[in-house]
């Protein structure tokens, strides 16, 4: 009897084993010791110089928290996004770890899709490469065009995560990252756009980061992006992405119309005006104030004036909005994967007995309690019977 690895080239098997080991953060020495052979033997396997036996593959799969099916499936997508970020930024441990996390989550989602026999639907927006000239004007036009393409018109976008995941077809994950890291973006021809957002940041800042990465998907699709404290802002790519985010979240005409309605009869811009406008578009108070400056609806330095005279406090926001203050569920639940689609995939795999709770826990980098909470939602729906609604195929 031969193993499934016989159907694959030894070099490909070795590469898959290496990626799985690195994703699990297991050293070569630890893996070799677990199989009771020399580290040089593991190196030979990972380099394709020695074909592993079935029992060795089973032990390595268990050690790496994956499955033989994931390792040996011919159609499985083997992706490692980390080298892309190393090419574009200086070595940084926080970015390296975030890239490793994004890679692991993408690999998990792809494995679940393959396990369930699902072909992901992608809706990549039209590419708009940067042209000579003013990138701010280009960004404004491209953001307006994409809104029309998505059928948004001038309506506010209050859930960028769902828009990217469900309408654009991007793979979006929200996990707690170091404060300095806002988000990561990478694109792969086989699996599409992949985005990681920092759950520790406020909701409006995550929206801004998500829109920024959407700008990269539109303009510099194949170039990875890491948005972090101290990241360059002077180059054309970043200036475009920042301007695109502003234009996409706060369309010029919509802001002008809302500004006219909210400030009707007033002679000065007040904190109340800024609070209501920011809430209307789901952005931060600073973001909307600077957008007003950019659109010449108020004088340059308006936000700095507010900041110098006490700012705009959360208590003032509560006084103005009352019960309308958005509960930041994603931040309160920051240690959980909140991707709607990934939760559905994992729960369906469990319901079909394709994966156990333990396997889901290892696959998604969650503890067993978090996995149980995820699956309790499906348990609450009750057992499926012959009378239950079925889907037409």
Of the pLDDT bands very low, low, confident and very high (cuts 50, 70, 90), residue 137 is: very high
Alpha carbons 345 and 298: distance in angstroms, whole number: 48
| pLDDT at residue 390, as a whole number | 47
| pLDDT at residue 391, as a whole number | 46
When computed from its CA atoms, the radius of gyration of the chain, rounded to whole angstroms, is 24
Asked whether the beta carbons of 123 and 204 are under 8 A apart, the reply is no
Indicate the helix (H) or strand (E) that contains 240.
Answer: helix 236-249
CA 243 to chain centre: 20
Of the pLDDT bands very low, low, confident and very high (cuts 50, 70, 90), residue 341 is: confident
**What is the pTM (predicted TM-score) of this model?**
0.76
Query: In sequence order, what are the residues at sequence separation of 6 or more whose Cβ sits closer than 8 angstroms to the Cβ of residue 345?
Result: 109, 112, 113, 116, 118
Write down the architecture of domain 1-76 according to CATH.
Answer: Orthogonal Bundle (1.10)
| pLDDT at residue 383, as a whole number | 52
To 5 degrees, how large is the angle CA 46–CA 48–CA 51? 95
- Give one word for 311, left, alpha or beta, with left for phi > 0 and alpha for psi -120 to 50: left
| pLDDT at residue 1, as a whole number | 36
For the chain, give the mean pLDDT. Answer: 85
Asked whether the beta carbons of 317 and 275 are under 8 A apart, the reply is yes
| pLDDT at residue 324, as a whole number | 59
Give the rounded percent of residues in the chain with a pLDDT score beyond 70: 86
CA 273 to chain centre: 32
Asked whether the beta carbons of 50 and 10 are under 8 A apart, the reply is yes
| pLDDT at residue 73, as a whole number | 64
User: Worst-scoring range by mean pLDDT, 2-16, 27-41, 214-228?
Assistant: 2-16
| pLDDT at residue 2, as a whole number | 41
Q: What mean pLDDT do residues 231-252 have?
A: 92
Query: Which has more pLDDT, 131 or 112?
Result: 131
Query: Which has more pLDDT, 308 or 122?
Result: 308
- Name residue, tokens 């469900």: 166
Alpha carbons 385 and 368: distance in angstroms, whole number: 27
The alpha-helical segments, DSSP class H, found in 81-227 are 82-86, 93-116, 135-150, 160-162, 203-219
Q: What is the DSSP string of 309-378?
A: TT---HHHHHHHHGGGSPP-HHHHTTTS---HHHHHHHHHHHHTTSS-HHHHHHHHT--HHHHHHHHHHH
Does the structure show a pLDDT above 50 at 229?
Answer: yes
User: Worst-scoring range by mean pLDDT, 2-16, 44-58, 285-299?
Assistant: 2-16
The CATH code for residues 79-249 is: 1.10.10.2910
Q: What mean pLDDT do residues 303-309 have?
A: 95
Asked whether the beta carbons of 247 and 278 are under 8 A apart, the reply is no
Query: What is the token pair recorded at 1?
Result: 């009897």
| pLDDT at residue 326, as a whole number | 54
Provide the residue ranges of all domains of the chain, joining segments of one domain with +.
1-76, 79-249, 252-324, 335-379
Task: Choose the most confident range, by mean pLDDT, from 9-18, 120-129, 158-167, 298-307.
Answer: 298-307
User: Worst-scoring range by mean pLDDT, 220-229, 231-240, 302-311?
Assistant: 231-240
Does the structure show a pLDDT above 60 at 328?
Answer: no
Per-residue pLDDT tens for 15-64? 889 888 887 889 999 999 999 999 999 999 999 999 898 888 889 988 98
Per-residue pLDDT tens for 140-197? 999 999 999 999 999 999 899 989 998 999 999 998 899 999 999 999 998 899 999 9
Alpha carbons 365 and 196: distance in angstroms, whole number: 15
| pLDDT at residue 261, as a whole number | 96
Alpha carbons 28 and 32: distance in angstroms, whole number: 6
């Amino acid at each position: 009897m031969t193993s499934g690895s016989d159907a694959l080239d030894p070099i490909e098997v070795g590469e898959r084993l290496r990626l799985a080991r690195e994703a699990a953060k297991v050293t070569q020495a630890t893996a070799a010791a677990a199989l009771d052979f020399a580290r040089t033997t593991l190196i030979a396997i990972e380099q394709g110089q020695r074909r592993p036996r079935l029992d060795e593959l089973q032990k390595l799969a268990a050690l790496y928290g994956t499955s033989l099916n994931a390792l040996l499936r011919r159609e499985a997508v083997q992706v490692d996004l980390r080298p892309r970020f190393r090419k574009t930024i200086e070595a940084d441990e926080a970015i390296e770890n975030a890239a490793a996390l994004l890679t692991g989550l993408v690999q998990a989602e792809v494995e679940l899709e393959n396990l369930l026999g699902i072909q992901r639907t992608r809706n990549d927006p039209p590419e708009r490469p940067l042209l000579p000239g003013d990138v701010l004007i280009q960004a404004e036009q491209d953001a307006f065009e994409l809104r029309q393409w998505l059928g948004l018109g001038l309506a506010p976008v209050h859930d960028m995560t769902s828009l990217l995941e469900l309408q654009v077809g991007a793979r979006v994950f929200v996990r707690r990252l170091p404060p300095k890291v806002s988000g990561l973006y990478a694109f792969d021809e086989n699996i599409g756009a992949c985005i990681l957002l920092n759950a520790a940041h406020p909701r409006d800042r995550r929206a801004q980061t998500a829109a920024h990465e959407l700008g990269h998907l539109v303009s510099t699709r194949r170039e990875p992006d890491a948005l972090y404290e101290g990241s360059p802002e002077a180059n054309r790519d970043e200036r475009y992405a920042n301007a695109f985010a502003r234009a996409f979240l706060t369309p010029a005409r919509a802001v002008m119309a809302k500004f006219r309605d909210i400030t009707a009869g007033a002679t000065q811009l007040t904190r109340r005006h800024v609070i209501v406008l920011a809430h209307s578009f789901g952005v931060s108070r600073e973001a909307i104030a600077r957008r007003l400056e950019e659109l010449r609806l108020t004088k340059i330095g308006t936000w700095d004036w507010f900041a110098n005279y006490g700012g705009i406090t959360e208590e003032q926001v509560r006084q103005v909005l009352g019960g309308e203050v958005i509960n930041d569920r994603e931040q309160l639940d920051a240690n959980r994967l909140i991707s709607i689609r990934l939760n559905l995939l994992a729960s369906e795999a469990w319901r079909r007995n394709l994966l156990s709770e333990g396997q889901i826990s290892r696959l998604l980098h969650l503890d067993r309690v978090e996995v149980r909470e995820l699956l309790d939602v499906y348990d609450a729906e009750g057992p499926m019977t012959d009378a239950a609604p079925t889907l037409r195929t």
